[in-house]
Amino acid sequence: MALMHAHFFSRALNVASSVEVILPESDQGIGVTASGSVELPKVLYLLHGYSDDQTIWQRRTSIERYAASHNLAIIMPAVNHSFYCNETHGERYWDYVAEELPAQMQRFFRISDKPEDTFVAGLSMGGYGAMKLALTYPERFAAAASFSGAADIASMSRRRLADWGRIFGRQAVRGTEHDLFHLMKQNADAPRKPRLYVSCGTADFLYDQHLKFVPALRRSGWDVTSYEEPDAVHEWGFWDREVAKFIPWMLEE
């Protein structure tokens, strides 16, 4: 696999941005099996959590090895503490991730632009971002995943989330474009919807949000597969196992 460190000027953010990109190669190296496909690679947008950046999936998981045999490109952007939102007193990270980033990746790299070849996943804050993208633009993705995701932003207090005021301002989140429960109902009748994969450990501090989120998705008519790992907490061992499972699941292999 080829690893690209992409740096480009973002008009949405009005600053240089950084993205890590893993691309398939015909020769993968010793001990790694190539897919042999000549088709344009399918694309997984892989989103980081609250305390990390665009490099973390490479550092803490075997994501490159997992993608190698599937002709899969992995795109990992950086969004700081934004919760993948257009911040009230800050930057336009939602515009960046939802609109500018996919367009730029298509310009820079030979990757598929077909919805059936496009996927998104993330952990914790990134799980929220992945679900927000999939529930807002269901026609763009074949599948999406949240691992230990912050699914119920409206229930998180300003005291618990130090950046709340900068991101959301004084507004109530419930019932807005930031609320996953609102989005799942708003787009419940979309003609094309992705398959969803939602997982969490039973000892994770976000498990209560998981238990509310999955049934709500099902009641709204979304195709969701859920998994709860006994005694798993908010940590990289669980997320490494989950992304390894998700890739063949999303590709229906």
CATH number, domain with residue 166: 3.40.50.1820
Number of independent structural domains in the chain: 1
From first to last of its 253 residues, the chain has per-residue pLDDT tens of 899 999 999 999 999 999 999 999 876 555 555 555 668 999 999 999 999 999 999 999 999 999 998 889 999 999 999 999 999 999 999 999 999 999 999 999 999 999 999 999 999 999 999 999 999 999 999 999 999 999 999 888 655 667 888 888 877 889 999 999 999 999 999 999 999 999 999 999 999 999 999 999 999 999 999 999 999 999 999 999 999 999 999 999 8
CA distance 33 to 69: 6
- Kindly write down the DSSP assignment for every residue of 113-163, as one continuous string: --GGGEEEEEETHHHHHHHHHHHH-GGG-SEEEEES----GGGS-TTT-TT
pLDDT on residue 25: 85
What residues contact 160, with CB distance under 8 A and at least 6 apart? none
Residue 96: the pLDDT is 98
The pLDDT assigned to 39 comes to 83
Distance, in Å, from the CA atom of 33 to the CA atom of 70, rounded to the nearest integer, reads: 9
Looking at the chain, which runs of residues are DSSP E strands? 2-10, 15-23, 42-47, 72-77, 118-123, 143-147, 195-201, 224-229
Query: Which residues, listed in sequence order, are joined to residue 229 by a DSSP beta bridge?
Result: 201
Residue 241: per-residue pLDDT: 98
Q: Which domain holds residue 92?
A: 2-250
Q: Are 87 and 97 in contact (CB under 8 A)?
A: no
CA-closest candidate to residue 120, choices 151, 97, 91, 94: 97
User: pLDDT averaged over the chain?
Assistant: 93
pTM for the model stands at 0.94
